[in-house]
Amino acid sequence: MILNHLFGLYTHPKEEWQTIDRRHESLLYSMSHILIIALIPSLTCYYSAVHIGWSIGVGDPIILTEQSAMIVSTAMYVGLVCGAIALAYLIHWMAKTFDAEPTYTQSLELAAYTATPLFMVGFASFYPELWFVMVVGLVGLTYSVYLLYSGVPIIMHIPEEKGFIYASSVVTCGLVLLSVMMASTVILWSMGMGPVLAS
């Protein structure tokens, strides 16, 4: 069943990583996980942007038009899915440096399940206060990094010392990917593709 590792990753992550390593589901299974879990932030942000309004600080909440929110949410969804696939590629590409020989499916599993807490942060947008979403986002990011550090030695079958350095390299690549996505957003917005406020 898709998402069947979700509960285990939150309650007993190391044991769940070992279960994931024993089963190694198909590439389609991992892709399905990413495609479903990436819907959470996209749909919740759409709803909050159109029906609740984002509160950045003082002043009235910022509400987008339905069409604008749909474009932003779709772009977010595509960006999240592409980001997870790109991270899996980088995990796979770096593997030989750390004497690991994973399949691309293993790399995608690691990227998919590591990104899950970060994608679950989308639920915080039901209370679209910037400070609240930032705090929940920081918690989600911290847990994603923890999952990465605990999962790399198990999924990649390498010692924990090498796993620590490998995971640190993956975190660095993830930050670079995030910077590229943010820069792309700024470029697209400056070209007139930014959000449109509801009147």
Provide the total of helices (H) and of strands (E) in the chain, helices listed first. Answer: 8, 0
- At 152-171, the pLDDT tens digits run 999 999 998 888 999 999 99
- Domain containing 63 equals 24-193
188, part of any domain: yes
12, part of any domain: no
Buried b (16+ CB within 10 A) or exposed e, 15-45: ebbeebbeeeeeeebbbebbeebbbbbbebb
- At 37-62, the pLDDT tens digits run 999 999 999 999 999 988 877 778 88
9, part of any domain: no
* Average confidence score pLDDT of the chain: 88
Number of compact structural domains in the chain: 1
Question: Structure pTM?
Answer: 0.88
Task: Tell me which residue of 76, 78, 106 sits closest to 91, measured CA to CA.
Answer: 106
Do 130 and 54 form a contact (C-beta atoms < 8 A)? yes
165, part of any domain: yes
89, part of any domain: yes
53, part of any domain: yes
99, part of any domain: yes
Token couple for 22: 């024993």
Token couple for 120: 């679950």
28, part of any domain: yes
